[in-house]
Amino acid sequence: MLIQLKNITKEYDNSSAAVTKVLRGISLDVEEGEFLAIMGPSGSGKSTLMHIIGFLDRSTAGTYLFDGENIEEFTDDELARIRNERIGFVFQSFNLLARTSVLDNVILPLTYSKMKDHVALATKALEAVGLSNRLNFLSNQISGGQKQRVAIARALVCNPKVIFADEPTGNLDSKSGTTVMSILGRLNDEGRTIILVTHDRTVAEHAHRIITIRDGSIVSDEKNANPKKSEMIEEES
């Protein structure tokens, strides 16, 4: 089992007496190689859940085993290493470094790793998303769809087990969105675990398993027997 959550809760103690409970005892198992979509309306806690699974945030209570290791016992530096080596993130708003080349953006996680041959690895990752002809473009000289593909290459470059995608198509037109989903699908086919957060049913239908969260609790957990396959649409340019 890759990910095991037991009774994870998250509370925010905003100074005004009331404690906001965002997650109310989430238990969830994810196998290696799964393609999982977390759905839910905004404010349901789906992003918070993903941040906790993705080591960006810590839970208030509960246990989280990743690859059999208890995350609650990890120091901040150890979490940073896991974020670097074993997972990759794709964000809704791309989060590329401005005025920095596509290649350097993809190299960025490598600079925090022990890996060598940064340029070769980054070039390979960019080839995997079909952007090997954009290496030296600056991040503000490419389209939104291309930006998200750079972000996927960046998530991919350290060869992680899991890729987390937080509304990856949220800022994209449908054509670019389809391309992004097809890339994620292919990465899953290659054996990587994909955890996708979205509020969009059609996006979620790419996954093999869809869980729905409402008010901090899982309300449904269904297998998607017939996941949607998107074909990569080549953008002109």
DSSP assignment of 139-171 equals GGGS-HHHHHHHHHHHHHTT--SEEEEESTTTT
The two tokens of residue 237 are 């340019």
Q: What minimum distance in Å lies between the beta carbon of 158 and other proteins?
A: 8
Is 13 or 31 the residue whose CB approaches other proteins more closely?
A: 13
Closest to other proteins by CB, 109 or 145: 109
Q: Which of 18, 179, 65 is nearest to 73 (CA)?
A: 65
Least Å distance between CB 97 and other proteins? 7
User: 15-54: which residues touch other proteins (CB under 8 A)?
Assistant: 51, 54
Cα 28 from Cα 41, distance rounded (Å): 19
Give me the least distance between CB of 107 and other proteins, in Å please: 9
Residues 167 and 177 sit within 8 Å (Cβ to Cβ): no
- Looking only at the bridges linking them, the beta strands covering 209-214 and 193-198 are unpaired
In whole angstroms, the minimum distance from the beta carbon of 54 to other proteins comes to 8
**Cβ-based nearer residue to other proteins, 156 or 210:** 156
Interatomic CA distance for residues 82 and 156, integer angstroms: 14
Here's the x/- map for other proteins, 127-166, by CB under 8 A: it reads as ---------------------------x---x--------
Residue whose CB is less far from other proteins, 158 or 187: 158
Name every residue whose Cβ is closer than 8 Å to that of residue 89 and which is 6 or more positions away in sequence: 54, 56, 83, 155, 163, 164, 165, 166
| 76 belongs to the binding site for other proteins (CB under 8 A) | yes
109 vs 177, beta carbon nearer other proteins: 109
CA-CA-CA-CA dihedral for 78, 83, 38, 5, to nearest 10: -20
Report the amino acid identity of residue 174: S
Using CB under 8 A, pick the residue from 112, 189, 202, 235 that binds other proteins.
112
Minimal distance, residue 149 CB to other proteins, in Å: 17
Listed residue (34, 138, 47) closest to 92, CA to CA: 47
**Binding residues for other proteins, total number by CB under 8 A:** 24
Q: Which residues, numbered 80-99, are part of the site for other proteins (CB under 8 A)?
A: 80-81, 83-85, 89, 91, 95, 97, 99
Query: Rule CB under 8 A: which residues touch other proteins?
Result: 51, 54, 56-57, 76-77, 80-81, 83-85, 89, 91, 95, 97, 99-100, 108-109, 111-113, 154, 158
